Amino acid sequence: MYLWKNQQTVVIGYNQNPYSECNVHLLHDEGCHLMRRGTGGGAVYHDLGNINFSFIAEKRLYDVRKQLSVIQDALLAYGLEAEISGRNDLTCQGRKFSGNAFAKGQRNDLHHGTILIKTDGAMMQRYLIVDKAKLLKNGVKSVASRVINLSEAVPDLTSENIKQPLMASFEKVYGGKAEMLDFDTFINNAEVQAIREHISSHEFLFGRWEQFKTTKKARFAWGGVEISLKIDEVNAVITDVQIASDCLEPETIVKAEQTLKTASTKAIPTYDSSNQILRDIMRLVYNG
């Protein structure tokens, strides 16, 4: 378990279009940051009023419910009851305080998320662009009314004094003594710095999004999707495609892009029709 914070930052999911998710120019003009993570899910706003967690575990130990129970148990120390809700959320008093995302590796799997404690809601609304269809789906008028800062329920709770309950809960749930990471040794090595340079690069953050305009857009049970196509009208072939989505399966979005590239615009290409996400994307492209 890793606990960490960001200064004013919008973090977008792996497959998301930054220009659709946040006010990029305003964010940069005001000295804030944009980052893209390697997992799926939607855009979130970070500041020093919240704290973030990551669980990285061997596949035999990886258990999302058990990992979330660490968060739930820690909050009980402050009399707060958290519930698992929707695709990937933790809620308190019916409102979201934690969005979670996931990734699978060859040996280890990753689960990470936010804990909103005293985040600046005005700044969150200032920088994030929230799909109206998503708000309507959840029956709310704004992102601010959909989320809760836990300090609203417990004014004394901060992103600092939650650390000890989280550590104690981690030890309780996993039945052992936690060993503290030597952060400086961990962060200051060539491999980590190389990753840092890659995920901070313009190409990783913006890629081809600057060249594309959304042509098809929809929201499904598994998440929202924006599809941008470049088409050779003469030969009726899709020459390039970019798909933005807050889907929790980034690898499926990549597969959809690969399937559509060089496909005919007149006939649906062969794909795994048992995959609901792929099926919905193909129907959207070919049936509108």
Structural domains in the chain, CATH included, are 2-180 (3.30.930.10), 212-287 (3.30.390.50)
For residue range 89-110, what is the model confidence (pLDDT) as tens digits?
899 999 999 999 999 999 999 9
> pLDDT at position 139, please?
47
Tokens describing residue 16: 């998301």
pLDDT of amino acid 272: 93
pLDDT tens-digit series, residues 40-90 = 988 999 999 999 999 999 999 999 999 999 999 999 999 999 999 877 789
Indicate if the pLDDT at residue 207 is higher than 70: yes
What percentage of residues in the chain have a pLDDT greater than 90? 76
pLDDT at 140 over 60: no
- Average pLDDT value for residue range 205-233: 87
Residue 151 CA to residue 49 CA, distance in Å, equals 10
Task: Look at residue 142 and tell me whether its pLDDT is greater than 70.
Answer: no
- How would residue 113 be classed by pLDDT, with cut points 50, 70 and 90? very high
Q: What is the mean pLDDT of the chain?
A: 90
Rounded to a whole number of angstroms, the distance between the first and last alpha carbons of the chain is 43
Q: What percent of the chain has pLDDT over 70?
A: 94
pLDDT above 90: residue 194:
yes
Rounded Cα distance between 223 and 186, Å, is: 35
CB-count burial class (<10 Å; 0-12, 13-18, 19+) for 193: exposed
Name which of 18-32, 37-51, 128-142, 258-272 the model is least confident about. 128-142
Confidence category of residue 287, pLDDT binned at 50, 70, 90:
confident
For the segment 241-273, what is each residue's pLDDT rounded down to a tens digit? 999 999 999 999 999 999 999 999 889 999 999
For residue 143, the model assigns a pLDDT of: 56
So what's the pLDDT on residue 132? 62
**H or E element, residue 108:** strand 108-116
Do residues 43 and 16 make contact, with C-beta atoms less than 8 angstroms apart?
A: yes
Residue 135 has a pLDDT of: 46
Q: Quick one: pLDDT at residue 133? A: 57
| HSE of 42, CA atoms in CB hemisphere, 13 A | 22
* pLDDT at 131 exceeding the cut of 90: no
List the alpha helices (DSSP H) in the chain.
18-21, 24-29, 64-76, 121-127, 132-137, 143-146, 163-174, 183-187, 190-200, 202-206, 250-260, 276-287
For residues 217-238, give the mean pLDDT. Answer: 90
